Amino acid sequence: MFNVSRKLKKSEDGISAVEFALIAPLMAIIYFGCIELSLMMTLDRKVTGATAALGDLTSRAASVNNDDLTDIFEATRMIMQPNDMTKSRMRITSLYEDSGDVKVAWSDGCNMAAYAEDQQITIPANLIPEDGTLIMSEIEYDYDSGIGYFFTTSKTLSDTFYLRPRRVDSITRDRTSGSFSCAYANP
C-alpha cells in the first residue's frame, strides 16, 4: 500500500488534461469575446462610413427635395447592409452662422426627430465660415450582441459628420415636390 501511494505521487499521467481543463474555459471566453468585439467594431466602421456618405451625398446637391432626400437615405441604408436598419436613427441638417450663433436652416430625420428651423445648435468651434453654411449628418445605431454573453445590453454606436456644401454657398430644401420616405421604420 505504501508503494502505491508513492507511485501516485510520482505519476505525471493526466497533468496535461488537468491543465487543459483549467485553461480551456478562459481561452473560450477570450475567443468569443474577441469575436464579439470584432463584430461591434465592424458595425461601428459601417456607421462611420454611412454617416460620411449621408453628409457627402447631401453636400453635393444645390437643392434637396423630398425625392432626393428619400434617395439619399436609401443609399445610406444600402451602405449599412446586411445590418437591420430598423435599429438606426439618421438625421441630416443644414446649419448656418448668424452673428456668431449656429442655427438650423432645415433638418430632416429618419426615426430621429428633426431640429426646428432657427434652433440654436452647439457644434465644435470654427467649422462654419462667417455667414456660411454647413451640412451636419448624424447616425445612431443600437448594437445588440449576436452572442449576447459579453455585451448583454444594447450599445449605441453613433457618429456625426460636418461638411461644407460643394457647389453652392447654401443648400436649399424644397419640401413641395416629391414624397419623403425613410424606406424603413422602427417597429
Per-residue model confidence as pLDDT tens for the chain (187 residues): 556 556 556 666 677 888 888 899 889 888 888 888 888 898 899 999 999 999 999 999 989 999 999 899 888 888 888 888 778 899 999 999 888 889 999 999 998 999 999 999 999 888 888 778 999 999 999 887 766 665 566 788 999 999 999 888 889 898 888 788 776 654 4
Report the predicted TM-score, pTM, of the whole model to 2 decimal places: 0.79
DSSP one-letter string for 123-148: --TT-SPTT-EEEEEEEEEEE--SS-
* DSSP conformational letter for 92: E
Residues 6+ apart with CB under 8 A from 165: 59, 133, 134, 135, 171
In angstroms, what is the C-alpha Rg of the chain? 27
Whose cell is 432645415? That residue is 106
pLDDT at site 150? 59
Q: Which three cell numbers stand for residue 153?
A: 445590453
